[in-house]
A and B are shown apart, each in its own frame.
Chain A
Amino acid sequence: MRVKVHFYGQIRQKAGVEHTDIDLAEGTVLRLAFSALAARHGEEFGRMVLEPSGRVHPNLICLVNDVPATGDEHVLKDGDGVALFSPVAGG
């Protein structure tokens, strides 16, 4: 299955792209999808999406099809659109 991921905030800089498509096995959960993204986009990106324990980073706001994800084990479906928002400040 294929999922589209959009990046917002500083994580877009770490990803180096505004959005990407990723092919995943049917029934992949969010946590494992982020692992696959981390393998593609590098260590700094990885530290923004996953904690050392492998859990989804709690600072990350994650929407699936514009609705907040239900947690690390949220099951993705073919055609889902994921939006990731990393922390931002002011100035």
Chain B
Amino acid sequence: MKLAHLTDEERAVYEWQMWIVGFGEDGQRRLKSSSALVSRCGGLGGPVCYNLAAAGIGRLVVAHGGVVKPSDLNRQILMTHDGIGKSRIESVARRLRELNPRLDVVAVPENITEANVAGLVGQVDIVFDCAPLFPERFGMNRECVRQGKPMVEAAVFNLEAQVTTILPGKTPCLACLYPRTPEQWTRQFPVLGAVSALAGATAALEGIKVLTGLGTTLAGTLLHVDTATMEFRRIPIRRRPDCPVCGGLPT
């Protein structure tokens, strides 16, 4: 991959993170040369977008339908009170451009569907799955496996956060983790914004590691955090040879 060069302004903005051993100017150039799709930019996806934008990713494709509701504001940090009743994705794009005017933001005013998933996944280097509904998540998973794109999987419930990184053919995919559609899952669930932010920031960090080669990712490991007790668990997860989504890929 031919890496983008940094401007003097970018060197000034990213100076502190380029001091990180193993990241440096090369990591920054890799990040600037990278693109990501974030599916839904609410409690989870908002912090993902914000941290990727702040870190200097080159291009963000953000997908989220609907308008801002009062009940979004306990956790959706890219939405604001004066945006209630207005487009969520316009608020997302505006806030991200305010943070990082160098960022190329592609705002998609709809959620991921079977009709748009292939085109959206095809535009980017990595995908962040932050959707609240499993059919949307499984659709993204199938497409990422089909196109061989890494997907960072983030989720929250109550005071719990969990994150894993899916590398098609190398790690379990979402259908390995959950072979059946969870029939009792509902669109609305209990969550505190700080928990979503923890999961979102962790997911963004995972993405930065995948894109730049920094550190070690959560590939093959499900990180589960119970913030009620601050217990962090690393749960090893395995591919299912009979997985209908990724079982046919060589190991």
Contacts and interface: CB of A to CB of B under 8 A. Distances in A.
Nearest to A66: B233
Given A59-B178, A61-B222, A61-B235, A88 B155 contact: yes
B226 A90 contact: no
A91 B191 contact: yes
Contact of A91 (B42, B177, B182, B183): B42
A91 B132 contact: yes
B74 to A, nearest CB: 11
Interface in A8-52: 8-10, 12, 14, 44, 47-48
A89 B189 CA distance: 10
Interface string B41-61: 011110000000000000000
Contact of A90 (B131, B177, B182, B233): B131
A61 B133 CA distance: 19
A50 B158 CA distance: 23
Q: How large is the interface on A (under 10, 10 to 19, 20 to 34, 35 or more residues)?
A: 20 to 34
Interface string B146-171: 00000000111110101000000000
Contacts of B45: 90
Contacts of B235: 61, 63, 68, 85
B144 interface: no
Nearest to B199: A90
Interface in A36-91: 44, 47-48, 57-59, 61, 63, 66, 68, 83, 85-91
Nearest to A44: B184
A47 B181 CA distance: 13
A47 B185 CA distance: 12
Contacts of B131: 89-91
Nearest to B182: A87
B233 A9 contact: no
In this complex, the member of B179, B224, B236 whose beta carbon has the largest number of chain A beta carbons within 10 angstroms is B224
A87 B185 contact: yes
B180 interface: yes
B228 to A, nearest CB: 8
A89 B42 contact: no
Contacts of A91: 40, 42-44, 130-132, 156, 187, 189, 191, 196
B224 A59 contact: no
Contacts of B137: 89-90
A68 to B, nearest CB: 6
B235 to A, nearest CB: 6
A44 B184 CA distance: 8
Contacts of A59: 178-180, 182
B14 interface: no
B129 interface: yes
B178 A87 contact: yes
A90 B155 contact: yes
A63 B35 CA distance: 36
Nearest to A14: B184
Interface of B: 40, 42-45, 129-134, 137, 154-158, 160, 162, 177-180, 182-185, 187, 189, 191, 196, 199, 222, 224, 226, 233, 235-237
The 8 closest A-B pairs by CB, nearest first: A91-B132, A88-B157, A87-B182, A88-B155, A90-B44, A90-B130, A58-B179, A59-B178
